[in-house]
Each structure stands twice: as structure tokens, then as C-alpha cells.
Structure 1
Amino acid sequence: MALIASSREEPSLRQPGIVLLCLLAMVLIGERLLTIAVDGVRQGSSGFPVWLPEIGSIGETIVFYSMLFDVLKFVVIPVVLLWLAHQYGRYSAGT
């Protein structure tokens, strides 16, 4: 229990940094995979690849994933950047 309490009190850049890197990787890889899937549909295949869960029609699926990546890019990543900046301020004030 003391370990958890001490980790909450000590300012660290590790957690927000790891979360930011994971989100960036998720957005970059996910958008690339979505582009590949959409190009496959455009070239005349019958539907999405098996690895991409389909929601309703093909158009609804494309809109859903596009909006998901937009929310990650324009809402979640800036919030994590603010968290990183806050932790950096606490870390630099503590040293």
C-alpha cells in the first residue's frame, strides 16, 4: 500500500509518456489499416477484411472508425499532452 501512495505523490513522466506513445501508435497504425481496408473496398471486393469488425453497412463502419480516430487525435491526445505538461511541471518543481 505504501508503494501505491508513494507513486501517487512522486511526480513521474513515465505514465503520461507511455499513454501518449500508445495513443500515437494506435492512431497511426489504425488509420493506416483503415486506409488499406477502404482501398480494398473501393477496388471492388465484396466487403471489409475479416480482421476489421463491421458496424452496420460499409459506410457506417468507415464513418465510425474515422470519427473514433478523430476523437483520439483532437480530444484524447491533447488531454494526455496537458497531463504530460502538468506532470513535467510537478517534476521540474520537485527537483
Structure 2
Amino acid sequence: MSLLQSVRTEGSLRRPAFAVVLLIMTALVGEFVLTSAIKGVLEESAAFPVWLPQFGTIGQTIVYYSRALNFVQLILIPLALMWLAYAYGQYSATQTDD
């Protein structure tokens, strides 16, 4: 049985799989937004996006956002992947090959 088929049939694998996908999408979108904001600040004609909340100066804001993005990329995604691996290991250990 493939991993995708087991995710479709087993509810306990859906939550960690959804968490992994959500965190990866958050990291990708956050990286794009942060890069666009930094490019906008470095160009003299553009400013920091108004719709993005600011914390102190623009430099402090960029540092806070990059730290949050690093936390997602370096801590939360590996934890979610370990959760998915644990759930899949439990699922495959309880399955019988009939």
C-alpha cells in the first residue's frame, strides 16, 4: 500500500500530513513576501508594504519576520515531519498484510 493511499484511508495520518503541507506553504509564501518587502525597502522609490504589520523600525521588522520564518523552517517543519513519520510508523505497524 502506498503512502498516498494510506493517507486517504486513515484519518490519523491526515492531520500530520496536512500540518506538513500547511507549514511548507507558509514557509514558501513567507519567504516570497519577506523577499519582496526587502526588495521594496532597498529600492528608493518603494517603501515597506503598508499591509504588513511593522514592529519598531523597518530593520527590526525584517529581523522579526526573518526569525519567525527561520523558526517555521528549522523547527516546526522538521517536527511536523517527525510527527508524520511517527504516525505512519504506527499505522504501518498495526496493518496486517491480508
TM over 0.5: yes
Gap regions ≥5 residues in structure 2: 1-9
Partner of 1:43: 43
Please tell me whether the aligned partners of residues 13 and 87 of structure 1 are also in contact (alpha carbons under 8 angstroms).
yes
Partner of 1:78: 78
Q: Which amino acid aligns with 2:61?
A: T
TM superposition score normalised by structure 1 = 0.84
Between the aligned partners of 1:13 and 1:51, the Cα distance in structure 2 is 36
Q: Which amino acid aligns with 2:35?
A: T
TM superposition score normalised by structure 2 = 0.82
1:27 aligns with 2:27: yes
Between the aligned partners of 2:45 and 2:30, the Cα distance in structure 1 is 20
Q: Which amino acid aligns with 1:59?
A: G
Q: Percent identity, aligned pairs only?
A: 47
Gap regions ≥5 residues in structure 1: 1-9
Structure 1 runs of 4+ off > 6 angstroms? none
| Alignment root-mean-square deviation, CA | 1.5
Residues matched between the structures, number: 86
Please tell me whether the aligned partners of residues 40 and 46 of structure 2 are also in contact (alpha carbons under 8 angstroms).
no
**Comparing 43-52 and 61-70, the one that deviates more:** 43-52
Please tell me whether the aligned partners of residues 27 and 73 of structure 1 are also in contact (alpha carbons under 8 angstroms).
yes
